[in-house]
Amino acid sequence: MEESLREEGTERFFADILEGFSLKATDPGTYSPLVLAWIGDGIYELIIRSILIAGGNMSVDRLNRMGSRMAKAAAQAGIYFSIREELTEEEEAVFRRGRNAKSYSMAKNASVNEYRHATGLEALCGFLYLNGKTERLLALLRLGFERSGMLEPGGNDGIS
């Protein structure tokens, strides 16, 4: 079943949304880095929530607390630093565009540096998602979660 989900769904998710709503695709390279980060934030959140519910039924309060720890700017910056050596030149360029974008908002409880690195990671997530590179996105985030200690290697039993 796991393999069939990958073949049928994850790489086509965005394409299926466009098709289902009769929308035309736009070249992801034309979006501003903050638009990439905006959609990337939603995708990142969906990935976190999917990981957490795979751990079993628990209270929504507990899910929110666990998800918040994984989604805060400091955690996202840590994920970037743990995977930056794995990024292609194109991925690093997208990250830099997101990190260097002039945002008019700030995260609560985060330094400017953490917030900018988080925005860069979210832009990368958005770029990979919009380009249909879901497997690459998931592989990078899994590696980042494992290297930063948020996820035990080989499974989600050790979500911290």
Rounded to an integer, what distance in angstroms lies between the CA atom of residue 69 and that of residue 25? Answer: 33
Question: Is residue 27 assigned to a domain?
Answer: yes
Question: Is residue 89 assigned to a domain?
Answer: yes
Kindly indicate the confidence band of residue 73, based on its pLDDT and cuts at 50, 70 and 90.
very high
Look at the chain and report how many structural domains it folds into: 1
Question: Is residue 25 assigned to a domain?
Answer: yes
Please name which of 136, 142, 76, 86 lies closest in space to residue 111, comparing C-alpha atoms: 76
- Quick one: DSSP state of residue 28? G
41 is catalytic: yes
Instruction: Give the residue-averaged pLDDT of 59-87.
Output: 95
Identity of the amino acid at 98? G
Per residue in 100-133, pLDDT (tens digit) is: 998 777 777 889 899 999 999 999 999 999 999 9
The pLDDT > 90 percentage for the chain reads 69
Question: Is residue 140 assigned to a domain?
Answer: yes
Question: Is residue 159 assigned to a domain?
Answer: no
Question: Is residue 153 assigned to a domain?
Answer: no
Catalytic residue among 16, 41, 61, 157: 41
Rounded alpha-carbon distances, angstroms, from residue 121 to 34, 77, 140, 144:
11, 7, 11, 11
127 contacts 33 by C-beta, under 8 angstroms: no
Question: Is residue 46 assigned to a domain?
Answer: yes
Question: Is residue 59 assigned to a domain?
Answer: yes
* CATH classification at residue 23: 1.10.1520.10
Instruction: Name the CA radius of gyration of the chain, rounded.
Output: 16
Domain span holding position 17? 2-147
